[in-house]
Amino acid sequence: MQYRRLGRSGLQLSVFSLGSWVTYHNQVDTACAREIMAAAMDAGVNFFDNAEGYANGQSEVVMGEAIKALKWPRLKYVVSTKFFWGLDRNAQPVNHSHTLNRKYLMQAIDGSLSRIGLDFFDLVYCHRPDPHTPIEETVWAMSDMIRSGKALYWGTSEWSGADIRSAWDIAERHHLHKPVVEQPQYNLFHRQRVEQEYAPLVEQIGLGLTTWSPLASGLLTGKYQQGVPAASRFTLAGMDTLVQAVGDQAKRKAVAQLGALAAELSCTPAQLALAWAAHNPCVSSVITGASRLSQLQDNLGAVAVLDRMVPEILTRIDHIAAPLAR
């Protein structure tokens, strides 16, 4: 396993990490989570990502129960959560969801810590921007969260580059804890924001990136070339837009071509896509997902493919996928 600093912070993360979106509670129970997380740790993974909105808080519960059962020393692992959606994004009660105001944030951190059973989170993210709350209010609240000892670092997810810079400038001006990380989507079909909008912030303010959906929700694995199989994540509620991507003939052709290239490199399509995402020096950690131990083992095989991301291979990958990226 390789380790990279989170931007300019001193925190080191495994280049491949393990997330819980969609899987924990919905597809993965505590026993399965414990098995997968133990195998991930044995392979060198030290970063485990979560969010209060995943499975209405139950993802945090499952991960917390697994951590408790594994009895890891606290220094061995990094764990995160995210705030914005609340526990039920459909109910939308006032000050309970879809907000980053101070009242919500100061109570949300306590709820997440209680569910996961920890004294503090290493990383906390503002899960989406909130146009109805002044950025300055959010920055003060997140900084106070760190000052209280309930979190060590904070950042954002899917914020615009301009808003991230604004938050950083506010923190700099008032001597507050600055945002050190952004968590954006990044894969072969979704890359422009990372490569064009966030790259200058990586250079200018030392922003770290922990990227999600490196396999485009499984599309880049090639397993959806013949449609959506039963029991896959695309059959879960709320995955309608992802199902539409399966029917995109241009992307399916590109996935087939990428699969052929992966065969040349003696790796799986998933390993090729993961190694491509991790080759970007702006990326601190690539968040992977797994509902089975075999998926985790296949994904972590991407570590051995990293040194094959040479200019010739990267050019061939760009020729196949770049025209379809946004």
Give the residue from 221, 232, 226, 254 showing the smallest Cα distance to 325.
254
Q: Measured between alpha carbons, how far is 165 from 144 in angstroms, rounded to an integer?
A: 19
Tell me if 180 sits within 8 A of 8, measured CB to CB.
yes
- Distance (Å, rounded) from C-alpha 287 to C-alpha 13? 11
- Specify whether the CB–CB gap between 13 and 4 falls below 8 A: yes
Distance CA 161, CA 14 (A): 25
Tell me how far apart the alpha carbons of residues 282 and 280 are, in angstroms, rounded to a whole number: 5
DSSP letters, 166-221, are HHHHHHHHHTPPPEEEE--B-BTTB-HIIIIIIHHHHHHH--EEEEB-TTTTTGGG
Is the Cβ–Cβ distance between 85 and 100 less than 8 Å? no
54 is known as an active-site residue: yes
How far is Cα 43 from Cα 227, in angstroms, rounded to an integer? Answer: 32
CA distance 316 to 322: 10
Residue 4 · residue 15 · CB < 8 Å: yes
Q: Which two tokens stand for residue 100?
A: 């980053």
Beta pairing partners, 125: 82, 155
Of 3, 24, 54, 186, catalytic: 54
Q: How far is CA 147 from CA 106, 140, 150, 179, 233, in A?
A: 12, 10, 8, 13, 38
Residues annotated as catalytic are 54
